Amino acid sequence: MLGPYSLSDLRLVEPSTDEELAAYYDLRWRILRKPWDQPRGSERDNLDADAYKLMLKTPGDRAVAVGRLHFNSPEEAQVRYMAVDPEWDRSGLGSRILQGLEAEATKRGAQTMVLNSRDKAVGFYEKHGYALSGQAGALFGGKVQHVRMSKIL
């Protein structure tokens, strides 16, 4: 059980309504930016408009996991902004989002998936077949280090 819900209660959606998108971006900000005192709006970038977004939400429409996919080239897709609400951490939600993003990338013809992983998430991505492929820099004045990872689809 995940709080009052079981995993089967959660719905995997591509957020499209104003309410879904607000919940999607709010989770991205709360998990990926707020802890480092980054302002609202910093959870978005210029690729969001054309990117494929996925969200797991509760029956009460609360976003509990999110992720985004965009293409760097016709053959290379990139995962960004993966986030899971801490209340649901280590419950398989990140895996469901990642698998959904990989399925969409494959459907659109990608051959390789890349991502920049925070240090603490490297093991998660390795379990899903990703391998280290280099350094990816740091965010927020060097507070959050990233490494580049890739996977052949």
pTM for the predicted model, two decimal places: 0.91
Q: How far apart are CA 87 and CA 67, in angstroms?
A: 17
Q: Which two tokens stand for residue 38?
A: 């980054």
Ordered structural domains, the chain, with CATH: 7-113 (3.40.630.30)
Q: What is the mean pLDDT of residues 135-145?
A: 67
pLDDT of 76 higher than 70: yes
Q: What is the mean pLDDT of residues 120-145?
A: 82
pLDDT of 86 higher than 70: yes
Residue 82 contacts residue 102 (beta carbons within 8 Å): no
Q: What is residue 38's three-state secondary structure?
A: coil
Q: How far apart are CA 58 and CA 75, in angstroms?
A: 34
Confidence category of residue 141, pLDDT binned at 50, 70, 90: low
25-66: pLDDT as tens digits: 999 999 999 998 999 999 999 999 999 999 999 998 899 999
